[in-house]
Amino acid sequence: MSSVVYIDGELVPAGEAKVSVYDHGLLYGDGVFEGIRAYNGRVFRLQEHLDRLYASARGIQLGIPLSMSEMESAVLRTIAANGLTDAYVRLVVTRGIGDLGLDPRKCGAPTVFIIASTIQLYPVEVYRAGLRLITCRTVRTPPSSLDPSVKSLNYLNNILAKLEVAQAGADEGIMLNQEGYVAECTADNLFLVRAGEVVTPSPEAGMLIGVTRNAVIEVARAAGYVLREALFRLGEVLTADECFLTGTGAEIAPVREVDGQAIGSGKPGPITNELHAAFQELTARDGTPIEAGSR
């Protein structure tokens, strides 16, 4: 089956799906997006992703031309049209076509497109051995400049940090905020395990609060672990018993070293492995059925 893309209400062959060069999403990164996963015929936490999408759009005064229920149907329809039961979905809303100026008032209707495909962010070996992280020199954009809860198309801050990761030959990078506290990684949230407690940066650190992050917090608390959100510095990462990352693409990915220093035993820890297994059980049963989009 050839893949199709949803764009402004139509499903078109992927090779024919096009966005104008005058679209402000392309020209200025003016728009919002979500990355969403489907497992075993169910879309995981679709409502939470849509809630965040619409909140991000409100945050930049972007009116989405579909109601939330219409957007849900569009996502499900796109996955079903591609014959997928396990999928990665990229849902994008741009400001739309305008002129070469910045003024968003010059744009017409927003552009909406949805891509449904597959993803494997890290090879299987990474989940067995763990990720190698570095600390990035690029500092996370401060909340006073841009609300971190807005998941916008302008990812240059993260991309510059990701370039540092690539140049170092590492797998991911930790981004600090202006005060030197750990905020997040270039594309993932971060968790530590210390003395049996699970700790993750608090929202005031200035990171995007991930849907997977929230699910893992639920899983950890359901498993009986103390889960704390707190401000902490890099030293607490380096001296943790375990460390792992969470994200839509990564799911739960263990960390074996940071800046060349082993974390704990230098292997995925038992609590990380336990939470990963529990998260996989959650994704197997929790979600919106893809078949609902054909009704």
Alpha carbon distances (Å) from 84 to 4, 212, 259, 263: 11, 21, 39, 37
* Both tokens assigned to 167: 């140049």
Please determine, for residue 252, whether its predicted confidence score (pLDDT) is greater than 80.
yes
Q: What is the pLDDT of residue 38?
A: 97
- Please, which pLDDT band fits residue 123 given cuts at 50, 70 and 90? confident
Q: What is the pLDDT of residue 1?
A: 59
- CATH number attached to the domain at 4-119: 3.30.470.10
β-sheet bridge partners, residue 255: 131
* Both tokens assigned to 153: 């198309």
- What average pLDDT does the segment 179-204 reach? 97
Please determine, for residue 292, whether its predicted confidence score (pLDDT) is greater than 70.
no
Q: How far apart are CA 76 and CA 91, in angstroms?
A: 11
**Annotated catalytic residue, options 18, 151, 162, 267:** 151
Q: What is the pLDDT of residue 240?
A: 98
Please determine, for residue 221, whether its predicted confidence score (pLDDT) is greater than 60.
yes
What CATH architecture does domain 124-283 belong to? Alpha-Beta Barrel (3.20)
- What average pLDDT does the segment 2-12 reach? 95
- Please, which pLDDT band fits residue 122 given cuts at 50, 70 and 90? confident
β-sheet bridge partners, residue 43: 38, 288
Q: What is the pLDDT of residue 119?
A: 83
**Nearest alpha carbon to residue 33 among 52, 19, 14:** 52
Interval 20-60: pLDDT, tens: 999 999 999 999 999 999 999 999 999 999 999 999 999 99
- Please, which pLDDT band fits residue 121 given cuts at 50, 70 and 90? confident
- What is the CB neighbour count within 10 angstroms for residue 169? 8
Give yes or no for a contact between 289 and 41, defined as CB atoms under 8 angstroms apart.
yes
- Please, which pLDDT band fits residue 2 given cuts at 50, 70 and 90? confident
Please determine, for residue 197, whether its predicted confidence score (pLDDT) is greater than 70.
yes
Alpha carbon distances (Å) from 203 to 165, 183, 281: 24, 8, 27
* 151 annotated active-site: yes
Look at the block and give the residue holding tokens 């075993």.
Answer: 40
Alpha carbon distances (Å) from 243 to 195, 256, 265, 275: 12, 8, 11, 12
- What average pLDDT does the segment 143-164 reach? 96
Give residue limits of the domains in the chain: 4-119, 124-283
Please determine, for residue 120, whether its predicted confidence score (pLDDT) is greater than 90.
no
Instruction: Characterize the bridge pairing of strands 172-176 and 131-135.
Output: parallel
Interval 60-108: pLDDT, tens: 999 999 999 999 999 999 999 999 999 999 999 999 999 999 999 999 9
Amino acid at 157: N
- What average pLDDT does the segment 258-287 reach? 96
β-sheet bridge partners, residue 31: 94
